Amino acid sequence: MKTDNSQEPGVSGALGKLHLKSLLVPVDFSDFSLKALAYANFLAKQSEASLDLLHVVEPSRIPKGLKMSHADWEELMVHDAACSLRQLAGDEIEQDICVHTEVRVGNPCQEICNAASRQNQDLIVVGTHGRTGLMHLFLGSTAERVVRFAPCSVLVVRVGDQNDAGIAKPKKILVPMDFSRNSKLALEAALVLAKQFDAGLLLLNVIPTAYALGGYDGVDYGMLEGEMRESSEREFAEIVKKIGQTGVKAETRIVDGRPATLIVEAAKQCKVDLIAISTHGRAGFEHFVIGSTTEEVVRHADCNVLVFRKKKENQSAGEQNSSGKKP
């Protein structure tokens, strides 16, 4: 979603529809990716955007007993995937939406992010499988890795008990806010969605209760929390006043604790349809040990999650392996 970067981010007074020109949808033909494709089809129709469907073939060993070279086997997989992807586009995408298909070989996350950068995508719409426990610790999920490295915003679609209409047209949107520039930009995006779909907003500020030790032993943490809560209340009062001018209903909530846990709990308790959250991003060993609040929310939330990121400039260009365009 595009925002006016010429001024400090806040609550926009003039709201329109989604400003999306091109959406990237990774497809592995699972129920998860098909759900994401249905959501992307809805968004493309709403915003008159084009769709780019991408399937990534992961390099794998030749099956036992197969009398075929690795190159021939890989070529066959790419050809079959390209045919299936074009068929899927013809069956599932509405006729008035411009759609392209592409099959690439490589690491799914890397190829998805490269494609988004190369094609200057506005949004990646990805389904999530979800892993837990030790398997998740070491492998993570493609959706979480895309959230971490994508050059643009990412909509993570989770398969649940909701019907298509309920998922596509959110009635309540949760926006976690720490009042940083990034969280205010995420609020802008959520406000556009709320206005377009007549949804309400729940603005959540979490005051962390994990403090540094050592040189800060003399700090009165009770007083510190009180000051932080008063500051949050002032920020929210100003924001809600501006939101009120748009006609969107908004409520606020300030809680103490662990951000990721409380965001997910609030979404469940308030029956939220969509979480709109920004990401700051960590890399390397720090990310492995600490993780990311945003990725934890993506992992555990029962609803869809829009991860807002200011779009980066194009970093690469490449040719498609296979493509098709609907008339």
Note the pLDDT tens digit of each residue in 156-175: 998 754 444 444 678 999 99
**Residue 157 counted as domain residue:** no
Per-residue confidence (pLDDT) for residue 13, from 0 to 100: 42
pLDDT > 90: percent of the chain: 51
Q: Is the pLDDT of residue 140 over 80?
A: no
142, 178: one domain: no
Per-residue confidence (pLDDT) for residue 141, from 0 to 100: 77
pLDDT > 70: percent of the chain: 73
Q: Is the pLDDT of residue 71 over 90?
A: no
**Residue 306 counted as domain residue:** no
CATH of the domain at 212: 3.40.50.620
The per-residue pLDDT for range 265-281, each reduced to its tens digit, is 999 999 999 999 987 64
**Residue 285 counted as domain residue:** yes
User: How many structural domains compose the chain?
Assistant: 2
Per-residue confidence (pLDDT) for residue 209, from 0 to 100: 77
Per-residue confidence (pLDDT) for residue 74, from 0 to 100: 83
Per-residue confidence (pLDDT) for residue 176, from 0 to 100: 96
Element (H, E) at 51: strand 50-57
**Residue 222 counted as domain residue:** yes
232, 193: one domain: yes
Residue 50 corresponds to which tokens in the numbers above?
Answer: 């084009």
Residue 213 corresponds to which tokens in the numbers above?
Answer: 């030790």
In single-letter form, the type of residue at position 157 comes to V
178, 263: one domain: yes
The more confident residue out of 121 and 285 is 121
**Residue 159 counted as domain residue:** no
Per-residue confidence (pLDDT) for residue 243, from 0 to 100: 95
**Residue 9 counted as domain residue:** no
In single-letter form, the type of residue at position 292 comes to S
104, 217: one domain: no
224, 324: one domain: no
Count of Cβ atoms closer than 10 Å to residue 223 Cβ: 9
**Residue 161 counted as domain residue:** no
Backbone dihedral region of 214: left (phi > 0), alpha (psi from -120 to 50 degrees) or beta? Answer: left
129, 258: one domain: no
The CA R_g of the chain, rounded to the nearest whole Å, is 21
C-alpha count within 13 angstroms, C-beta hemisphere, residue 17? 9
38, 122: one domain: yes
Sheet holding 200-207, edge to edge: 99-105, 50-57, 22-26, 123-127, 153-157, 304-308, 274-278, 172-176, 200-207, 250-256
Per-residue confidence (pLDDT) for residue 296, from 0 to 100: 87
In degrees and rounded to multiples of 5, residue 140 shows phi and psi of 65, -150
146, 220: one domain: no
The per-residue pLDDT for range 219-253, each reduced to its tens digit, is 556 777 889 999 999 999 999 999 999 999 999 99
240, 127: one domain: no
Give the C-alpha separation, 130 to 141, whole Å: 7
Q: Domain limits at 41?
A: 15-152+311-327
Average pLDDT, integer, range 183-198: 91
User: What is the pLDDT confidence band of residue 143, given thresholds at 50, 70 and 90?
Assistant: confident
DSSP 53: E
95, 195: one domain: no
**Residue 166 counted as domain residue:** no
Average pLDDT, whole number, for the chain? 80
116, 236: one domain: no
106, 67: one domain: yes
